[in-house]
Chain A
Amino acid sequence: MNYFPDEVIEHIFDYVLSHRDRNALSLVCKSWYRIERCTRQRVFIGNCYSITPERLIQRFPGLKSLTLKGKPHFADFSLVPYGWGGFVSPWIEALAKSRVGLEELRLKRMVVSDESLELLSRSFTHFKSLVLVSCEGFTTDGLAAIAANCRFLRELDLQENEVEDHKGQWLSCFPDSCTSLVSLNFACLKGEVSLGALERLVARSPNLKSLKLNRSVPLDALQRIMMRAPQLADLGIGSFAHDPESEAYIKLKNTILKCKSITSLSGFLEAAPHCLEAIYPICSNLTSLNMSYAAGIQGSDLIKLIRHCVKLQRLWIMDCIGDKGLSVVAMTCKDLQELRVFPSVHLGNPAAVTEEGLVAISKGCPKLHSLLYFCHQMTNAGLIEVAKNCPNFIRFRLCILDATKPDPDTMQPLDEGFGAIVQSCRRLRRLSLSGQLTDQVFLYIGMYAEKLEMLSIAFAGESDKGMVYVLNGCKKLRKLEIRDCPFGNMALLTDVGKYETMRSLWMSSCEVTVGACKLLAKKMPRLNVEIFNENEQEDCSLEDGQKVEKMYLYRTLAGKRKDAPEYVWTL
């Protein structure tokens, strides 16, 4: 390869797209490093504090697409106090100052301000795609800036963000000249949008393939929108409640019949059960269905709907479907690959799911590879059978609502069940445990889960050995998050070098002390070891023997960060 001119090598590198492969290329030799960095267009940074924006820009001048993740995963569950960090503004400012022609920005769990959005919208003429997932800190004013200034915007995708509604008409800020939209998702917005502006926007966007509305868009507006966009493939319905005898509803039913290209449905944020039958005609085309926000829909209605969905590959649903409903899914959706069953907590619904439903799914859907399952109980026998039927799991996340519940049939811990999963599913990359678990399950994980990259543990284990098994055994481990487990200093300090091979480690309500964290920080200068001290006392000096309530450590080349709030102590 050394004898080829650079242009040839560049051309070959064009075919190498995955981040990992590209990273590997850059390690081969200096010239490959040089060529790779100049041709790299897409960069993924899993922890925004692992590197500085300046360094990123210096290395990849041709950057077009940047993905950044901020807060630790457990921030989703209110375990990270407010103000921890994850601010995107330094990144946008640095990029704006540089000559980078940014076209795509994808953020997850970051704090985004209106000013940043405004700066973003004005700084990059060819900006095409903004995807914000679980972010916060901005309002509809920021969205207005994006709409108004990004002349070639193709994608504006807002997923589960906390957005303050400022009642401005941000949708109306899309100029008439904007006809390039391919994907628009504002389902998470709480406020109203101008329906007229929305309809006109849809009408002048012939490439619009994905549209997800919020709950303020009523059924009759939905009908008019669908009329104008028969090419839609992915639809998120806002409000879906209407008198079934009304004209609007009848019109909608007729319109839906024409939308044969819809393969993905979601939303149903305000849904009345009797309206669901309007969708039956297109169910047979669906490959993806997300009913996990449809609070008003009962299990029986869900089952009736599912019976039509024979091509489903991805299903997100609430547990009111029940075990019986999952049997129907197993019978109907033979191509199912991803299943998420969420708890219908707001209704205290008795018809929740158990191991029965999961076993039924595993029998009927052998292609299943991703699972998120909230259930009331699980048995070892059930897990063993699931492991046998579905050896292809890549993601297996089980959440028993009662976090330390044993196998109800045998009163045993669930070690054997999860052990069977890791032993059978050799491609497993992500695992979340729950139920009563001893150190044994961690032994199994350390031994068998060779490809495991992310592990989430809560209320499990008996001693430091559990954590040590995992740290020793899982060579590919990147993210480890632990809460309320009896793992302490011995486990933490057993292999300090391991943490530089990982992205991050989270430990909360464990047995780790300040002294051990300080020691770790001292030994490993390229780790940031953060302790959250939420004690309200003013003179909180951290004594070595004190237990740490929350610790988050991550590898970094950027050193100690300067934007940490008062309660974060970087050791």
Chain B
Amino acid sequence: MSPPLLVAEEEGQSNASMVASASSQPLDRFSPNEARLKERNYLGLSDCSSVESSTAPSLSGGKKENLNLKATELRLGLPGSQSPERDPDLFSLNSAKLDEKPLFPLLPTKDGICSLSQKTVVSGNKRGFADTMDPEFPGNAGINMMLSPKPAGVQPTTVKEIPSKVLQERPSPANGTGHNHTGASISGSAPASKAQVVGWPPIRSFRKNSLATTSKNNDEVDGKPGPAALFVKVSMDGAPYLRKVDLRNYTTYLELSSALEKMFSCFTLGQCGSHGAPGREMLSESKLKDLLHGSEYVLTYEDKDGDWMLVGDVPWDMFIDTCKRLKIMKGSDAIGLAPRAMEKSRSRS
């Protein structure tokens, strides 16, 4: 390391309009006294010594000191203004903070966000992660009124101490157009109170939207989170054995019925095994299709109550929720249902 060089550069610079020396700030509002700088400087990095020290002084020591000094320190901030505590455990609520309230929030309270959290009057220019959480407005410029720079870099990811309220304030994550999408999804279970920031984590909007679509599609098919398979038995009158299908593989009735057609094509011609030549397969499949559309066969299912229902009446998600097994009935067994089946299959194809 060559600290002297850097220090010299800083001091040597004479910018006509700005005093570049690091030890004094040119504008008034940048002039919190240096005593304060040092006090809040957890890592002991004062203006010059930071360059010389090769290892950061132990953090815990500094922090302890700080905590003790906090109550007595000379501050230019508003009474009651609280610099957010660094919270090592992200997901635990800092119970101490629940008691403190900002006495004079300088900001006009925007939709009560100020009243919700401690973050509003942050004395320092380094905004904590939580501070930027502002789902209502595109710009966060308003939040940070205290413009004095604070060298204390340890801004915590302040957990909202009233998470439920915050979640209500926030627009529904599912509808979020863009910025809070990711954060909302992260805050599924345990991190429910995690602050959400525009553009963080830095994932391309395209990726976020694309994956949201995929999980929505999966949900449509699944009806519940997680890609567990939903195998149901499929029986066909006259077939020597049953088959099983995974209802999650399909998203429409059409897909299901064409899959079943292919699966059971061998049985209609009295042949087992559909591994014949392609020509033969296609023949049997189309024959089955004709048979189905000619209402010789009807697709039915047994629902949770044990009743046999005609496939196709209810929306797909409802169907896979209630379907326990499938049965391809002969039309003759499905008298009364058959004409409707014909109409239904015609309108679907």
Interface residues of A (CB under 8 A from B): 74, 76-79, 81, 134, 160-162, 188, 190, 215, 241-243, 245-248, 269-270, 272-274, 292-293, 295-296, 298, 342-348, 374, 399, 401-406, 408, 410-413, 415-416, 432, 436-440, 443, 446-447, 456, 458-465, 468-469, 472, 483-486, 488-490, 493-494, 509, 511, 519, 534-535, 547, 549-550
Contacts and interface: CB of A to CB of B under 8 A. Distances in A.
B262 to A, nearest CB: 6
Nearest to A404: B129
A121 B181 CA distance: 37
Interface in B119-161: 124-129, 132, 138-141, 147, 149-157
A403 B157 contact: yes
Interface string B213-243: 1110110000001010100000000000001
B interface: dominant SS: loop
A389 to B, nearest CB: 22
B227 A489 contact: no
A162 B203 contact: no
Nearest to A162: B206
B66 interface: no
A interface: dominant SS: loop
B248 interface: yes
Given A484-B127, A488-B125, A411 B202 contact: no
B202 A486 contact: no
B60 A489 contact: no
Nearest to A415: B56
B197 A403 contact: yes
A296 B218 contact: yes
A440 B6 contact: no
B219 to A, nearest CB: 10
A269 B149 CA distance: 47
A436 to B, nearest CB: 7
B22 A486 contact: no
B88 A411 contact: yes
Contact of A298 (B155, B178, B203, B227): B227
Most chain B CB atoms below 10 A, which of A162, A443, A458, A486:
A486
B26 interface: yes
B138 A534 contact: yes
Contact of A243 (B126, B129, B179, B245): B245
Contacts of B246: 243
B152 A462 contact: yes
A482 to B, nearest CB: 12
Most chain A CB atoms below 10 A, which of B125, B205, B215:
B125
B27 A489 contact: yes
A399 B17 contact: no
A402 to B, nearest CB: 5
Given A81-B138, A413-B56, A464 B149 contact: yes
Contacts of A464: 22, 149
B201 interface: yes
B135 to A, nearest CB: 12
B199 interface: yes
Given A246-B263, A272-B227, A488-B30, A346 B155 contact: no
B203 A77 contact: yes
B106 to A, nearest CB: 14
Contacts of B248: 272
Given A79-B198, A134-B204, A440-B56, A269 B88 contact: no
B321 interface: no
Contact of A493 (B15, B203, B217): B15
Q: Give me the 8 closest cross-chain CB pairs, A-B, nearest first.
A: A348-B188, A77-B199, A462-B153, A295-B214, A486-B125, A486-B126, A160-B206, A462-B151
B117 interface: no
Interface string B47-85: 100110001100110000000000000000000000000
9 contacts: A160-B204, A188-B210, A292-B207, A347-B185, A402-B157, A437-B153, A464-B149, A509-B127, A549-B140
B203 A462 contact: no
Nearest to B26: A490
B139 to A, nearest CB: 4
A76 B26 CA distance: 36
A463 B199 contact: no
A296 B216 CA distance: 11
Contacts of B151: 439, 462-463
Nearest to B140: A509
Given A346-B211, A509-B132, A77 B10 contact: no
Contact of A134 (B55, B206, B218, B262): B206
A490 B153 contact: no
Most chain A CB atoms below 10 A, which of B20, B47, B140, B186:
B186
Nearest to B226: A347
Contacts of B56: 412-413, 415-416, 438, 440
Contact of B18 (A298, A485, A489): A489
A270 B217 CA distance: 9
B43 A413 contact: yes
A207 to B, nearest CB: 28
A76 B18 contact: no
Contacts of B125: 486, 488, 511
A401 B201 CA distance: 6
A345 B20 contact: no
A275 to B, nearest CB: 9
B9 interface: yes
A86 B30 CA distance: 37
Contact of A447 (B1, B140, B185): B1
A328 B23 CA distance: 51
Interface string B13-45: 101011010100111001000000000010101
B90 A399 contact: no
A273 B51 contact: no
Contact of A347 (B90, B129, B202, B215): B215
A270 B179 CA distance: 24
B279 to A, nearest CB: 14
A443 B207 contact: no
B182 to A, nearest CB: 5
A342 B153 contact: no
B201 A343 contact: yes
Contact of B218 (A295, A404, A412, A550): A295
A345 B153 contact: no
A292 B22 CA distance: 45
Interface in B154-213: 154-157, 178-179, 181-182, 185-189, 191, 194, 197-208, 210-213
B129 A403 contact: yes
B274 interface: yes
Contacts of B86: 406
A371 to B, nearest CB: 14
B249 A241 contact: yes
A78 B153 contact: no
B9 A472 contact: yes
Contacts of B194: 402
Given A77-B203, A243-B245, A509-B132, A461 B153 contact: yes
A269 B214 contact: yes
Contacts of A408: 88
Contact of A486 (B15, B150, B229): B150
Given A345-B203, A412-B59, 17 more contacts: A74-B199, A76-B205, A78-B178, A274-B229, A347-B215, A348-B185, A399-B201, A404-B128, A406-B88, A432-B202, A439-B45, A458-B200, A472-B6, A490-B18, A493-B17, A494-B15, A535-B139
Given A76-B205, A81-B138, A511-B125, A462 B156 contact: no
Contacts of A458: 200, 202
B78 to A, nearest CB: 18
B50 to A, nearest CB: 6
Contact of A443 (B50, B90, B188): B50
A245 B191 CA distance: 41
Contacts of A293: 207, 210-211, 214
A494 B18 CA distance: 8
Contact of B185 (A346, A410, A462): A346
A78 B140 contact: no
